[in-house]
Amino acid sequence: MSSVTRKGSGRGVASRIWSERWAYLFLLPTLLLFGAYTVWPIISSLYYSMLDWNGLGSERQFIGLANYREAFGDPLFWKSLGITLTIIGVTVPLRVGLSLLVALVLNNPRLPLAKLFRTALFVPAVTTTAIIGIVMGFIFDPSGGPVNQVLLDLGIVDQPIDFLGDPGTSLWTVMGVHMWKWFGITLVYWLAALQTIPTTVYEAARTDGAGSWAALRHVTVPMLKPFLIIIVLLTAIETMQIFDLVLTMTNGGPFFSTLATEVYIYQQAFANSTPRLGYGAALGVLFGLVTLVFAAIQAIGIRYANRARSSS
Amino acid sequence: MTTFGRRRFFGLSGAALAGALGVAGCTRTSQQEAATAAGGGVIRWWDHFQPLKPLNERIFAEYGKANPGVRVEHEVYNPNEMGQALQLAFKSNQIADVHSIAGLGSSEASLVVGGWFSPLAGQDAIRAKLPADSLLEGLHVFDGKLYSFPIFSARQYTTLNWFNRELVEKAGGDPDNGPATWDEFRSLAARITKDGGGRAYGWIQGLQFHERLQSHVIELATSAGAPLAMAQGDNTMGLVDPRTGEYAYAGEPFVQALEFLLSLVRDKVVFPASTSLDARTARARWATGVAGMFFDGSWSIGVVNGQFKQFIDKVGVGPIPSPDGKPVLYGAPASGQLFVSSQSKHVETASDLLARFTGPEFSKGLATFMDQVPLDLEAVAMAEVHPSYKRAAELFGQTVRLAPSPIARNPAVAQVMSEMKAPRPTLGEITQGILSGELTDIRKALREYNGKLTAERERATRVVSGKGVKVSLDDWKFPNWQPGKDYTAEMYQ
């Protein structure tokens, strides 16, 4: 009896696939590309992470979890993780908070030139990061760079500041540029969130005698709360991908002061005098797990946000 | 009017494509056959010497003229990508007849054992055109057979003191030789900075490029008396005190070299943006006249000639500054650059062509590119090059001695070095840390680095000898080495 059922259900699956063949056919390119560029790199990274391999030679020795054991005892890996988390901890709240304030201003339909301001703030987000990194090197140049020139001319400093060459200032400078570069993206998130608040709610609030401040406090902010979680998490995950900016601005230096985890992985896998692709892959997998934690929090956050929105 | 259906269109397109491929294939094959029939053939040649491309192609053309029917297909690779290309080509039996080994990450000895190369044909003729001390068993010669030879000199270093003659002269320095000692360098740098009034500084360097910075520290320490045996390769793992076979980074010369560099930072004579510059950008800034002195290799004048011609008349060069003004440096025996593949069907022709990369004429041609100095340093004096390049070659000849090489002693040392994982921070990164003020205890930092290297070498030696390879820490000791003298081929016996 059961075999008949299995047989019957097997036919059912085959015939279902056949009847939906066009849907599967159209899905095929996506599945192939996703498999080739997402699934396969993940699987191969896991495999490489268990090899002692420089990435080029034919000599590759399977060493199990030795690379992971080494990573747990590698002070530079932990330092780089600390730097990445510091960048997230500092820039995400600032970016989210400041962009909310600017979004509230720009969302005012009576503000003149609002579109121009929006565009101006968004332009850095669509500019190539590597180019920004290189240009910022000139802008913060202690020898004739415009930032130092202004500081000197205004008498704020009497000696130029080596923004990118001093370990005390380099990380802050990179964080500042990163915030400026991606500010427009967070701003767009907030502007989109603000568009979801029905104007009727504001009209009702005004009818009840609410002024601008009261409307902001009792209408806008409560209705934006669910978006806050999503925007914070999206911004945090974006911030983890700071590789190109750091590489072009400081290359992780001076003396590891801006060594974000992605840069450290790159150095180990490709840029060291003795490249170690296997070890770099292990670091990549561990960093992937950290990203995964953020992604899991994001998923939970989205669920919470949806629930909050539907209850409001 | 003719109309095409979908099937007809695909059918015709397919036929056209197949035809085109067939014609292309036939053309290529017929060319190769014609060349082979003429007694030659197509020699495929891969290297990574982009700046030397015109010289190489001139030699290929001359060879083709003298040997009708022989044609060279030359491809210049990016060094970073070459290793992968070579691996794939070797595995699929498609490797070039002649190739360099950039990016393979394996020693010449292990590649010979792996069956990559063919011994050169006409060995005696090639040997006759090379200086006797340039060939070593374990580096170029294996089991008595010659596999390759160096084209660049072992007698060179990267810490020549290139300077702006105008600024040096204005500050009261010697515009022909520059400063000789560390004290002279320091005071001249201070005077240039003072005269510059914020527009020019004493010294500029690409301090962000820690690998190059490391080379400068090693050479400054050597000029201060650090004795060094050198395994091939641009890293610190192969440099030891030849008398003991131990790493020498915790010794006084390295401490002094770092203190000298730190004194320049403390004197505020370093061009302020140096911390964010690499060698290339530092050279470009130096050529604008913002700094007096700049450490660089012999190729510096070649780059100035190619990219900053308006600056070339202001350029002077002097020796690496040293504590007493009498530096002695050491150079690892120069490796072979080009090899004939074991898969080549034209070993004789390829070897014959390779032989054109030896001798004074080739060295003279090589010198005209003002890059790394050629094997025959004396040929530079006869070449039409900038006087500073001639002076650089002269300084190398006077100052650099051949260091003993543990790899030439026992090629298995290369396996130990491949097994070793470079400890971090590296010497270059430690230098960055010291100059930026992040590391304050120089001796402690160097002691720790030396200890990590020693432990790592012991581990790697255990691993390699555990595989049955005959190698030990004694391979790094050269009791017959004498400071200030060449370590010649006979001394390995």
Backbone angles phi, psi at A311, to 5 degrees: -75, -30
Q: Which residues of B touch A272 (CB under 8 A)?
A: 422
Give yes or no for residue A281 having a pLDDT over 70.
Answer: yes
Instruction: Extract the runs of DSSP E, i.e. beta strands, from B24-118.
Output: 41-47, 70-76, 98-99
- Predicted local confidence at residue B36, as pLDDT: 44
Q: How many CB atoms lie within 10 A of CB A131?
A: 11
A74: three-class secondary structure by DSSP: coil
Nearest C-alpha in A relative to B436: A166
Q: Report which DSSP code applies to A29.
A: H
Helical H segments across B116-251, by residue range: 123-128, 165-170, 182-196, 210-223
The dihedral built from the CA positions of residue A242, A248, A252 and A254, taken in this order, carries a sign that is negative
Among the partner-chain residues B87, B234, B438, the one whose CB lies closest to the CB of A273 is B234
Report the residue count for chain B.
Answer: 493
Q: pTM value?
A: 0.84
3-state helix, strand, coil in chain A (%, to 5): 75, 0, 25
C-alpha to C-alpha distance for B440 and B168, rounded to whole angstroms: 32
Quote the minimal CA–CA distance from A56 to chain B in Å: 6
Q: Which residues of B touch A158 (CB under 8 A)?
A: none
Q: Which residue type, as a one-letter code, is found at position B469?
A: V
Contact with chain A for residue B438, Cβ under 8 A: yes
Q: Report angle CA B94, B98, B99 to the nearest 5 degrees.
A: 85
- Predicted local confidence at residue B421, as pLDDT: 86
Contact with chain B for residue A166, Cβ under 8 A: yes
Residues 6+ apart with CB under 8 A from B325: B180, B181, B184
8 A C-beta contact, residue B392 and residue B317 = yes
Q: Per-residue pLDDT for chain B (493 aa), expressed as one digit of tens each?
A: 344 444 444 444 444 444 433 433 333 444 444 444 344 589 999 998 888 889 999 999 999 999 998 999 999 987 767 887 898 899 889 999 999 998 776 778 878 888 999 999 998 999 999 987 789 888 899 888 999 999 999 999 999 999 999 999 999 999 999 999 999 999 999 999 999 998 999 999 999 888 889 999 999 999 999 988 787 665 788 899 999 999 999 999 999 999 999 999 999 999 999 998 888 899 999 999 999 999 999 999 999 998 999 999 999 999 999 999 999 999 989 989 999 999 999 999 999 999 999 988 899 999 999 989 999 998 999 999 999 999 999 999 999 999 999 988 898 898 898 788 888 899 999 999 999 999 999 999 999 999 999 999 999 999 999 999 999 999 999 999 999 999 998 898 7
C-alpha to C-alpha distance for A98 and A102, rounded to whole angstroms: 6
Q: Report angle CA B218, B220, B221 to the nearest 5 degrees.
A: 65
C-alpha to C-alpha distance for B493 and B488, rounded to whole angstroms: 10
Among the partner-chain residues B272, B429, B433, the one whose CB lies closest to the CB of A162 is B272
- Predicted local confidence at residue B375, as pLDDT: 92
- Residue B422 to residue A273, Cβ atoms within 8 A: yes
Report residue A152's pLDDT band, with 50, 70 and 90 as the boundaries: very high
Which run of H or of E encompasses B145? strand B145-146
Mutation target vs A (from B90, B113, B235, B276; most A CBs, 10 A cutoff): B276
C-alpha to C-alpha distance for B167 and B155, rounded to whole angstroms: 29
Q: Which residue type, as a one-letter code, is found at position A249?
A: M
> ipTM surpassing 0.90, yes or no?
no
Report residue A11's pLDDT band, with 50, 70 and 90 as the boundaries: low
- Predicted local confidence at residue B80, as pLDDT: 67
C-alpha to C-alpha distance for A262 and A167, rounded to whole angstroms: 19
Q: Report which DSSP code applies to B77.
A: P
Report the residue count for chain A.
Answer: 312
Q: Report angle CA A262, A265, A266 to the nearest 5 degrees.
A: 85
Among the partner-chain residues A56, A164, A166, the one whose CB lies closest to the CB of B103 is A56
Model confidence pLDDT, tens digit, residues A181-227: 999 999 999 999 999 999 899 899 989 988 888 998 899 998 998 89
Q: How many CB atoms lie within 10 A of CB B126?
A: 21
Model confidence pLDDT, tens digit, residues A286-298: 999 998 998 888 8
pLDDT above 70 covers a percentage of chain A that reads: 94
C-alpha to C-alpha distance for B281 and B206, rounded to whole angstroms: 7
Nearest C-alpha in A relative to B429: A255
Contact with chain B for residue A259, Cβ under 8 A: no
